[in-house]
Amino acid sequence: MKEEIEKIKQSALSEIEKASDARQLDDVRVKYLGKKGELTTILRGMGSLTPEERPVIGSLVNVVKEELEELISKKEKEYGEQELNRKLKEETIDITLPSTKIKRGSKHPLNRIIEEVEDLFVSMGYDVVTGPELETDEYCFERLNLPKGHPARDMQDSFYITSEYLLRTQTSAVQARTMMANEEKSPIRVICPGKTYRRDDDATHSHQFSQVEGLVIDKNISLADLKGTLEIFVKKMLGENLSLRFRPSYFPFTEPSYEVDVSCFKCGGKGCNLCKQTGWIEVLGSGIVHPNVLKMNGYDPEKYSGFAFGTGLDRLAMFKYEITDIRLLYQNDVRFLEQFDRLDR
């Protein structure tokens, strides 16, 4: 009996040795250790043994069984790993093939500028307000100290719908609306970005364009407040190292009025094509709110003073993104739009 077990063991060992993959190994397990396996059969046939032989043979079979099982598991693990490795290798893909692209949209450069301006002024406590684009002559001109027949109306050739209605030529129209809407006649701090329209179309002018207007009304507002505010605005938008120049000018709704030049950000003030060799670039119109404008819109000029400023956003966008032709902003070539698809850091 013992010899027989030894023989089975040797034969099993040799078969385990020969098994070259997990399946053959499993076959060996079934053949020797399975329900009908050779060792199992011996255990089952122990009934014919003497009571003395039984424990001896039983323990011998179990020892062999354990030994084989251990060996099989060990080999199985080895083969399992080999198998997995082979499978992993099979599953290798070409990671240089294109990704599944999630389409990324883009924000129009003008709206990027508007949002940037809004964020800056909102952080300084300004409210963003809007007004109609189809405006009345009253709000666009008359309430801003520009009565009918005023020569300064020539500065803005307008698109009229009727003698009373027109497409607004300036966001300043919202100034009068904001003052009129404020029933308590309390201090005001607003900016109003939006579209404006004038009869003009060439490489630097578009009949439709965008402006942002700022208006602050309170007690004791001075030119120094205007200058400080615009310094922050211009430096944030165009560059920290720039300097500002206030050049006297004329707008019917402000007195005194100033055009604001910024030192040329391209040449640093030495003179180049962009600044027409002057070293300065005109970026804003501004001034102290004209007492007539305050009066006409219900504010007492003896009690309140204010400043107002306005600038073209198209030019700001063109400066910022180095866009050479204003028409690009309105052509909406997808190859242009797609370039504004990232976080601007």
In the region spanning residues 112 to 151, those forming contacts with other proteins, defined by CB under 8 A, are 115, 118, 121-128, 130, 132-134, 148-149, 151
Q: Indicate the burial class of 229 (C-beta count within 10 angstroms; 0-12, 13-18, 19 or more).
A: buried
Report how far residue 158's alpha carbon sits from residue 170's, in angstroms, rounded to the nearest whole number.
Answer: 10
When asked if residue 182 is in the footprint of other proteins (CB under 8 A), the reply is no
φ, ψ of residue 10 to 5 degrees: the values are -60, -45
Q: Which residues ranging from 270 to 289 are in contact with other proteins (CB under 8 A)?
A: 288
- Out of 227, 236, 321, 323, point to the residue binding other proteins (CB under 8 A): 227
When asked if residue 92 is in the footprint of other proteins (CB under 8 A), the reply is no
When asked if residue 239 is in the footprint of other proteins (CB under 8 A), the reply is no
When asked if residue 329 is in the footprint of other proteins (CB under 8 A), the reply is yes
End-to-end CA distance of the chain: 86
Q: 88 vs 343, which CB is nearer to other proteins?
A: 343
Site size for other proteins (CB under 8 A): 87
Our measurement of the distance from residue 313's CA atom to the centroid of its chain's CA atoms, rounded to an integer in Å, reads: 20
When asked if residue 235 is in the footprint of other proteins (CB under 8 A), the reply is no
- Out of 69, 142, 225, 238, point to the residue binding other proteins (CB under 8 A): 225
When asked if residue 321 is in the footprint of other proteins (CB under 8 A), the reply is no
CB neighbours of residue 70 within 10 Å: 10
Q: 37 vs 109, which CB is nearer to other proteins?
A: 109
Q: 32 vs 209, which CB is nearer to other proteins?
A: 209
Q: Which helix (H) or strand (E) holds 273?
A: none
For the bound state, the minimum distance from the C-beta of residue 225 to other proteins, rounded and expressed in Å, comes to 4
* 154 token code pair: 């020539």
Q: Which stretch binds other proteins (CB under 8 A): 4-12, 64-72, 74-82, 162-170?
A: 162-170
Q: Which of 336, 316, 123 is nearest to 210 (CA)?
A: 316
When asked if residue 95 is in the footprint of other proteins (CB under 8 A), the reply is no
Q: DSSP secondary structure string, 68-83?
A: HHHHHHHHHHHHHHHH
For the bound state, the minimum distance from the C-beta of residue 66 to other proteins, rounded and expressed in Å, comes to 44
Q: 187 vs 268, which CB is nearer to other proteins?
A: 187
- Out of 145, 178, 211, 257, point to the residue binding other proteins (CB under 8 A): 257
Q: 36 vs 103, which CB is nearer to other proteins?
A: 103
- Out of 6, 66, 81, 338, point to the residue binding other proteins (CB under 8 A): 338
244 neighbors 281 (Cβ within 8 angstroms): no
Report how far residue 182's alpha carbon sits from residue 321's, in angstroms, rounded to the nearest whole number.
Answer: 37
When asked if residue 96 is in the footprint of other proteins (CB under 8 A), the reply is no
CB neighbours of residue 74 within 10 Å: 11
Report how far residue 286's alpha carbon sits from residue 38's, in angstroms, rounded to the nearest whole number.
Answer: 104
Q: 53 vs 127, which CB is nearer to other proteins?
A: 127
110 neighbors 193 (Cβ within 8 angstroms): no
